[in-house]
């Protein structure tokens, strides 16, 4: 992986201190937590793990054979039991676990008791199909409670789930099902998006033409769209659930048994199956959810991510439910039927904690402050941000217009691989600065280092690394431990490399600047440049392709592609459109290039390596950097001339 120069970023340095009233009631009030967790991080994490329900206690907190970690060695637990059963003892059994609002405005509330019934019934359905430890289940669903039920049912019977974001294409779904060799796929007929039913089962049918492992497909009826049901293979969820029995003994899981696999983009064309295990992951997500969001029993907590991404796994499902919170789940888009849908929901359900992404905040800014101003947002007491660097203007807008200058903002830096948040303020303790995720959490050893792995110190730019193992760290890449070692542990001796660049300011605060590898972050979603490039060259007209992420006002970054065509093919607006559609079909709408530039040659070094840095300069209209290593400098001047971006 090429590690390129870290970009500079503009900063605003106003410091926001937690209010005295917030600090006085905060879950974490004593700043010494940083010291004692720093001195003995294993004891710190063990004390957080003790807040979970263990069937059998662990014998050793950490077994570290770098870079392979085992946390809570010998401990036994069940993640589903921790998220559901243990809340049934007292009054919490009648507490809302999930408040669901569908896009058309339908509502459903599941108490913890309801969740227990539905999850155990579906666990029995899966067991009835012969699914057991050693199998995997793929879940391709929209944001509806049945998706959470399916995840927890898998966890209950000890079967790793693999969620595939509903916006991914059938081909992307096929590759993920095949890599995980799933026996069952759970899906819906379709999902609602801005008043239209978007088919999902249809994509599953196409994917399954080349997935030999799949025996059964369970279909939840969501929109009523007509779907083809293959006899013997396809089954309706509601019919299965009608006859299913409630109550299902949870499987006794080892702390290190796999809880789930989640695919994410890397620097090669093949997505990586990130493996998370049971004990450490649940410890990390429950602890961070409680501490960073300052969770109280009475909170209504809303995270707007999709459960198909890690944010949904950790901070809609496992963290919040392990903590017995009330989770709001919303299926639709923020601008349907009107641009105040989110604010209407906050007002309607009196949401107190709201966690969203900078890309959404920038969109709200564009729509105007009259939309939130027309709603009562006084229930809010804490705001969160995740997915990409939040620019100071968006941070301040969020603070003013949504938080009404009354809510701390927790900017949380983390990754699919880290499982839970690594860098974020503790809202009762940490003064915040607009645009900085502030400091590593207690027990987490994040640093910014130079090329040789030495800390850059105050005022320095460098690479973001993690220096000690943490409980919710990925354990490996599914079926590819060598790729795990190469991708994360071979850049800096003994350190986990995040792929991000960052700056440390004079107060030691971390300012994450974005990816320094070949990964693009579009609206907080990761896309590998190599994935888009290989989709493009599969098209019969394309000879070569280079893909970069360029600055985009709303999305953070946009996919920008440069192609050369095969002999005899003429460039046209229709071909550009075709190529964009082709990429969306191969990967999913989120990878669709914003623009495609046709070049007669791509800028390459004399050794044949494409100079992406120059392409980025061209796409962003910057003065070109060093071009002296180019094999043919005229390629760049030609590209500059024809640039129509």
**Count of positions on this chain that bind ligand PRX (CB under 6 A):** 22
The DSSP H or E segment spanning 533 is: helix 529-537
**Does residue 311 interact with ligand PRX by CB under 6 A?**
yes
Per the annotation, does 583 bind a ligand?
no
**Does residue 587 interact with ligand PRX by CB under 6 A?**
no
Other CB atoms within 10 Å distance of the CB of residue 637: 10
Per the annotation, does 413 bind a ligand?
yes
Per the annotation, does 271 bind a ligand?
no
**Shortest gap between Cβ of 161 and ligand PRX (angstroms)?**
17
**Shortest gap between Cβ of 246 and ligand PRX (angstroms)?**
35
Q: Which of residues 125-184 bind ligand PRX (CB under 6 A)?
A: none
The span from the CA of 595 to the CA of 583, in Å, is 12
**Shortest gap between Cβ of 354 and ligand PRX (angstroms)?**
15
**Shortest gap between Cβ of 609 and ligand PRX (angstroms)?**
23
Q: Which string of x and - marks every residue 402-441 that binds ligand PRX (by CB under 6 A)?
A: ---------xxxxxx--------------------x----
Contact 242, 217 (CB under 8 A): no
The span from the CA of 608 to the CA of 546, in Å, is 13
Q: What are phi and psi of 99, to 5 degrees?
A: -110, 120
Cβ proximity to ligand PRX: between 401 and 498 the closer is 498
Among 75, 308, 334, 389, binds ligand PRX (CB under 6 A): 389
Longest pairwise C-alpha distance within the chain: 74
Q: Which of residues 523-582 bind ligand PRX (CB under 6 A)?
A: 526
Per the annotation, does 387 bind a ligand?
yes
Contact 462, 313 (CB under 8 A): no
**Does residue 387 interact with ligand PRX by CB under 6 A?**
yes
Q: Burial code of 219-230, b = ≥16 C-beta within 10 A, e = fewer?
A: bbbbbebebeee
Contact 613, 603 (CB under 8 A): no
Cβ proximity to ligand PRX: between 389 and 471 the closer is 389
Residues 6+ apart with CB under 8 A from 473: 69, 280, 417, 418, 419, 466, 496
Query: Where do we find the tokens 């059964």?
Result: 216
Per the annotation, does 179 bind a ligand?
no
Burial class of residue 14 (count of CB atoms within 10 Å of its CB; 0-12, 13-18, 19+) = exposed
- Residue 607 tokens, joined: 């050794």
The span from the CA of 384 to the CA of 357, in Å, is 8
> Among all residues, whose Cβ is closest to ligand PRX?
416
The span from the CA of 30 to the CA of 330, in Å, is 35
Among 147, 512, 591, 598, binds ligand PRX (CB under 6 A): 512
Q: Select from 361, 365, 414 the least CA-distant residue to 383.
A: 361
Q: Which of residues 482-501 bind ligand PRX (CB under 6 A)?
A: 498-500
**Does residue 315 interact with ligand PRX by CB under 6 A?**
no
Per the annotation, does 294 bind a ligand?
no
Per the annotation, does 25 bind a ligand?
no
Cβ proximity to ligand PRX: between 158 and 425 the closer is 425
In three-state secondary structure terms, 542 is: strand
Burial class of residue 70 (count of CB atoms within 10 Å of its CB; 0-12, 13-18, 19+) = buried
Per the annotation, does 335 bind a ligand?
no
**Does residue 362 interact with ligand PRX by CB under 6 A?**
no
Cβ proximity to ligand PRX: between 122 and 413 the closer is 413
Cβ proximity to ligand PRX: between 69 and 310 the closer is 310
Per the annotation, does 195 bind a ligand?
yes
Residues 6+ apart with CB under 8 A from 459: 503, 504, 505, 506
The span from the CA of 312 to the CA of 3, in Å, is 29
How many residues are present in the chain?
Answer: 645
**Shortest gap between Cβ of 349 and ligand PRX (angstroms)?**
24
Per the annotation, does 311 bind a ligand?
yes
Per the annotation, does 362 bind a ligand?
no
Cβ proximity to ligand PRX: between 124 and 412 the closer is 412
Among 117, 515, 550, 604, binds ligand PRX (CB under 6 A): 515
Alpha-carbon separation of residue 240 from 58, 187, 336, 633 (angstroms): 38, 14, 33, 65
Contact 597, 563 (CB under 8 A): yes
Q: Which of residues 235-274 bind ligand PRX (CB under 6 A)?
A: 264
**Does residue 388 interact with ligand PRX by CB under 6 A?**
yes
Q: Which one of 169-177, 382-390, 472-480, 630-638 is the stretch in contact with ligand PRX (CB under 6 A)?
A: 382-390
The span from the CA of 216 to the CA of 159, in Å, is 15
**Does residue 306 interact with ligand PRX by CB under 6 A?**
no
Among 461, 521, 523, 541, binds ligand PRX (CB under 6 A): 521
The span from the CA of 526 to the CA of 264, in Å, is 7
Numbered residues of the known binding site for ATP:
387-389, 411-416, 500, 515, 526
Numbered residues of the known binding site:
193-196, 311, 387-389, 411-416, 500, 515, 523, 526, 537, 539, 542
Task: Name the site residues for ligand PRX (rule: CB under 6 A).
Answer: 264, 310-311, 386-389, 411-416, 437, 498-500, 512, 514-515, 521, 526
Numbered residues of the known binding site for CoA:
193-196, 311, 523
């Amino acid at each position: 992986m090429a590690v390129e120069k870290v970009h500079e970023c503009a900063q605003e340095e106003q410091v926001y201190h937690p209010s005295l009233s917030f600090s006085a009631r905060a879950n974490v009030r004593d700043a010494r937590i940083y010291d004692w967790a720093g001195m003995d991080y294993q004891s710190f994490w063990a004390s957080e793990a003790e807040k979970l329900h263990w069937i059998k206690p662990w014998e050793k907190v950490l077994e570290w054979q770098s870079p392979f970690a085992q946390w809570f060695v010998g401990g036994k637990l069940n993640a589903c039991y921790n998220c559901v059963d243990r809340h049934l003892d007292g009054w919490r059994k009648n507490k809302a676990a999930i408040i669901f609002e569908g896009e058309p405005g339908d509502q459903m509330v599941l108490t913890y008791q309801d969740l227990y019934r539905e999850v155990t019934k579906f666990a029995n359905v899966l067991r009835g199909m012969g699914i057991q430890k050693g199998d995997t289940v793929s879940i391709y669903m929209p944001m509806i409670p049945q998706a959470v039920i399916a995840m927890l049912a898998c966890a209950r019977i000890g079967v790793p789930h693999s969620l595939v974001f509903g916006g991914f294409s059938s081909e992307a779904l096929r590759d993920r099902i095949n890599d995980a060799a799933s026996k069952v796929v759970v899906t819906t007929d379709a999902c609602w998006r801005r008043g239209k039913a978007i088919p999902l089962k249809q994509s599953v049918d196409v994917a399954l033409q080349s997935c030999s492992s799949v025996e059964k497909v369970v279909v939840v009826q969501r929109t009523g769209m007509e779907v083809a049901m293959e006899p013997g293979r396809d089954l309706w969820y509601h019919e299965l659930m009608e006859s299913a029995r409630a109550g299902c003994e949870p499987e006794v899981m080892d702390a290190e048994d796999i809880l789930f696999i989640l695919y994410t983009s890397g620097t090669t064309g093949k997505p990586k199956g990130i493996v998370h295990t049971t004990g450490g992951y649940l410890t990390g997500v429950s602890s961070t959810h409680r501490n960073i969001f300052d969770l109280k029993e009475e909170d209504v907590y809303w995270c707007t991510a999709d459960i198909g991404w890690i944010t949904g796994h950790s901070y809609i499902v496992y963290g919040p439910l392990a903590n017995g919170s009330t989770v709001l789940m919303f299926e639709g888009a923020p601008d349907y039927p009107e641009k105040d849908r989110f604010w209407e929901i906050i007002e309607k359900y009196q949401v107190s904690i709201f966690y969203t992404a900078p890309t959404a905040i920038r969109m709200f800014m564009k729509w105007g402050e009259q939309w939130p101003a027309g709603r009562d947002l006084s229930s809010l007491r804490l705001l969160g941000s995740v997915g990409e660097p939040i620019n100071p203007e968006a941070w301040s807008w969020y603070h003013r217009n949504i938080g009404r200058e009354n809510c701390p903002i927790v900017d949380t830096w983390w990754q699919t691989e880290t499982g839970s948040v690594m860098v974020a303020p503790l809202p009762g303790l940490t003064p915040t600065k607009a645009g900085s995720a502030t400091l590593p959490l207690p027990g987490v050893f994040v640093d910014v280092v130079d090329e040789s792995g030495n800390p850059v110190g105050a005022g320095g730019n460098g690479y973001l690394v993690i220096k000690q193992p943490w409980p919710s760290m990925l354990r490996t890449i599914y079926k590819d431990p060598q790729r795990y070692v190469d991708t994360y542990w071979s850049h800096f001796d003994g350190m986990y490399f995040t792929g991000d660049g960052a700056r440390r300011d004079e107060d030691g605060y971390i300012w994450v600047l974005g990816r320094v590898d070949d990964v693009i972050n579009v609206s907080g979603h990761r896309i590998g440049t190599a994935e888009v490039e290989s989709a493009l060259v599969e098209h019969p007209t394309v000879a070569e392709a280079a893909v970069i992420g360029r600055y985009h006002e709303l999305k953070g970054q946009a996919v920008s592609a440069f192609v050369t065509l095969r002999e005899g093919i003429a460039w046209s607006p229709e071909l550009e459109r075709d190529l964009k559609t082709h990429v969306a079909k191969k990967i999913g709408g989120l990878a669709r290039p914003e623009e495609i530039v046709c070049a007669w040659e791509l800028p390459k070094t004399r050794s044949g390596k494409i100079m992406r840095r120059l392409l980025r300069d061209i796409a962003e209209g910057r003065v070109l950097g060093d071009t002296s290593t180019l094999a043919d400098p005229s390629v760049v001047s030609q590209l500059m001339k024809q640039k129509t971006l």
